């Protein structure tokens, strides 16, 4: 640096600041809206000004509408129970657990502090009663009782939680317990919470519990317990039916909320809010923004026939490809008239065995020539390998009944 440049540098910096110049590190890219369709261009006003981190996501497509520090690992408090409920919901849908199954509370489960339903050691409740206690009252003792029922111990259940987090691609998440009670290294991020919330919502029965405002336990006993949902938005915001609140002195006030209007469901997450009133107000602001600015355009609804799946050497040669979920894309309301088209790309030939839920292709959605969504398509049912007699019969059929 020359002596002349050193003398001029202060004057150059003053001129730059006065002129509103922007300094950017060498090689830094300009900020652009994320998402293929640019849906999450930042709103003109900050939607979650008081939150330490936040995210607003379309539940169907996973498109991010808005985010703020969404990848920062933070203590989640009882939002942890979204993953707990997800593993319970999977066990129920897989047939490993029934809502009517009895669960006996261990001394360890009954010893949990914080929010609880005051389980006694040896007390029995059904899976459904414990699940609603977790979903509505954020009961730590009910969370641990369910964890022990599924995995044998909370430690093993936590291993399953972290395994599921890895399967979902949650990079900022590490669980230490099933309840969210303060523990060193127990962290997740707003984006990871939105992803696990979206996965939980695939089990549609869960909103029966997360969306209920009040219920009772131990009715007709001398110890009745009144359950009141800790998420007050289920009562005071139209369309909200979940999912989970959280609070500790370390995490502050957190919430993963979901609301549905028509075919459009959104997920809004805030972490580190200063108080419950601000938390609820900022979640409501995020939901207002989503419903005012966007809409969901269904491509296929759950149960629609998308095509036919040809299965080589399968017990069934072909099965109707029925949508296991609703496939939709998020569009701004002023873009509703633009031409949207889709293309179904199946893996063909597909060899047996095929398991229900296996990825068998992709659904690509375009606006003009631009890809705006790319969904995995799953097998609607399990199809095993065909026996020799079945295969022989097919060959004979082709020989004798060919055109």
Active-site residue numbers?
A: 78, 81, 138
* Pair 175, 163: CB distance under 8 Å: no
Q: What is the dihedral of CA 308, 313, 316, 320, to 10 degrees?
A: -10
Listed in order, strand segments (DSSP E) in 79-183 are 102-104, 124-126
Is the four-CA dihedral 260, 261, 266, 272 of positive or negative sign?
negative
Are 300 and 324 in contact, with CB atoms under 8 Å apart?
A: no
Radius of gyration of the chain (CA): 26
Residues 6+ apart with CB under 8 A from 301: 263, 323, 326
Q: What share of the chain is helix, strand, coil (3-state, %, to 5)?
A: 35, 30, 40
- 3-state secondary structure labels for all residues of 196-232: HHHHHCCCHHHHHHHCCCEEEECCCCCCCEEEECCCC
Phi, psi of 108, deg, nearest 5: -65, -45
Pairing of strands 214-217, 225-228: antiparallel
Distance CA 380, CA 370 (A): 29
> 3-state SS of 10-72?
HHHHHHHHHCCCCCCCCCCCCCCCCCCCCCCCCCCCCCCCCCCEEEEEECCCCCEEEEECCCC
Helix, strand or coil, per DSSP, at residue 161: helix
Task: Report the C-alpha gap between 283 and 268 in whole angstroms.
Answer: 6
């Amino acid at each position: 640096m020359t002596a002349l440049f050193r003398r001029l540098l202060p004057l150059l910096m003053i001129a730059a600041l006065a002129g509103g110049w922007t300094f950017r590190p060498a090689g830094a890219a300009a900020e652009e809206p994320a998402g293929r369709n640019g849906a999450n261009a930042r709103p003109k006003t900050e939607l979650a000004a008081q939150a330490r981190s936040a995210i607003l996501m379309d539940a169907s497509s996973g498109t991010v509408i808005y985010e703020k520090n969404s990848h920062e690992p933070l203590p989640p408090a009882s939002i942890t129970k979204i993953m707990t409920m997800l593993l319970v919901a999977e066990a129920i849908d897989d047939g490993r657990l029934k809502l009517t199954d009895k669960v006996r509370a261990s001394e360890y489960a009954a010893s949990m502090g914080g929010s609880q339903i005051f389980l006694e050691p040896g007390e029995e409740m059904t899976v459904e009663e414990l699940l609603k206690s977790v979903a509505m009252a954020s009961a730590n003792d009910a969370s641990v009782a369910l964890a022990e029922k599924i995995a044998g111990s909370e430690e093993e259940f936590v291993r399953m939680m972290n395994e599921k987090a890895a399967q979902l691609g949650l990079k900022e998440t590490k669980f230490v317990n099933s309840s969210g009670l303060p523990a060193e290294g127990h962290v997740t991020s707003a984006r990871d919470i939105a992803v696990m919330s979206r996965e939980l919502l695939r089990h549609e029965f869960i909103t029966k519990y997360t969306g209920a405002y009040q219920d009772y336990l131990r009715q007709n006993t001398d110890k009745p317990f009144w359950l009141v949902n800790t998420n007050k938005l289920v009562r005071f915001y139209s369309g909200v039916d979940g999912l989970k609140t959280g609070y500790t002195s370390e995490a502050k006030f957190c919430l993963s909320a979901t609301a549905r209007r028509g075919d459009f469901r959104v997920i809004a997450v805030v972490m580190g809010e200063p108080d419950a009133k601000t938390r609820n107000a900022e979640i409501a602001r995020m939901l207002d923004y989503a419903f005012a600015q966007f809409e969901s355009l269904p491509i296929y609804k759950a149960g629609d026939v998308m095509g036919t799946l040809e299965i080589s050497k399968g017990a069934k040669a072909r099965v109707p490809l029925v949508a296991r979920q609703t496939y939709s894309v998020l569009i701004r309301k002023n873009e509703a008239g633009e031409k949207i088209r889709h293309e179904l790309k199946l893996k063909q030939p597909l060899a047996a065995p095929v398991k229900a839920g296996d990825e068998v292709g992709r659904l690509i959605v375009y606006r003009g020539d631009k890809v705006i969504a790319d969904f995995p398509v799953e097998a609607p049912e399990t199809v095993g390998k065909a026996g020799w007699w079945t295969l022989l019969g097919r060959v004979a059929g082709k020989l004798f009944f060919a055109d």
